[in-house]
Chain A
Amino acid sequence: MECLPKSKAEKVYVRRITVTMAVYVLLVFGTTWAVRHAHVQGWLLYVCAVVPSLAIFRLLQVVGLYLKEETDEFVRQQMVNSILWGTAVVLGLSAVSDFLRGYTGKGELPGFTIFIVFWMVFALAQGVQQLRNRVGGDD
């Protein structure tokens, strides 16, 4: 299997994702510290609770920008497939959870489950597609 060069859009995507995730980690640690140690209260507490999700919105925007900027349609399609897989699994999972809660009162998913599962399935789908579409030696 050959290590293929990344497209320009892919390089930009990786750089944006790296920066966004670094900002996300800083925001999570920052707000956690502010809430636990600075004893933030009132409206500022609500602001602190929402601030980390701004990085998540940026993350979603980065994925959207990549889909817009990637000129290789096959690579773009693989990304779309992965997003669809992630979406399908989390929609199914949330439906099961909602029915369980509705009928049994149990089955509530822990916080961030949907988000984590989406990205795990997305990564898995990307990996499977990379493996399926790997290229051998050039002739």
Chain B
Amino acid sequence: MTNRLKALRAERGWSQAFLAERLEVSRQSVNAIETGRYDPSLPLAFRIARLFEMRIEEIFEDRE
């Protein structure tokens, strides 16, 4: 799965620490998601989508 998290965060001028705080996860988690080393669970993906006021599929994309 690929995602646009880093680009979307940059558009808003948010730091990883800020995003991590808003999502109530560690910065390590945000970094792992952004770099594609970790695919978030559905509840976390929904939290991310809600925070960016977008649909999940606008942030995350299935490679297949």
Contacts and interface: CB of A to CB of B under 8 A. Distances in A.
Interface string B1-36: 000000000100001110000001111110111000
B25 A4 contact: no
Contacts of B10: 139
Contacts of A134: 28
Contact of B26 (A72, A132, A138, A139): A72
B29 A74 contact: yes
A130 to B, nearest CB: 8
Interface residues of B, number: 18
Q: By DSSP majority rule, is chain B's interface helix, strand, loop, or mixed?
A: helix
B37 A139 contact: no
Contacts of A72: 24-26, 29
A133 B31 contact: yes
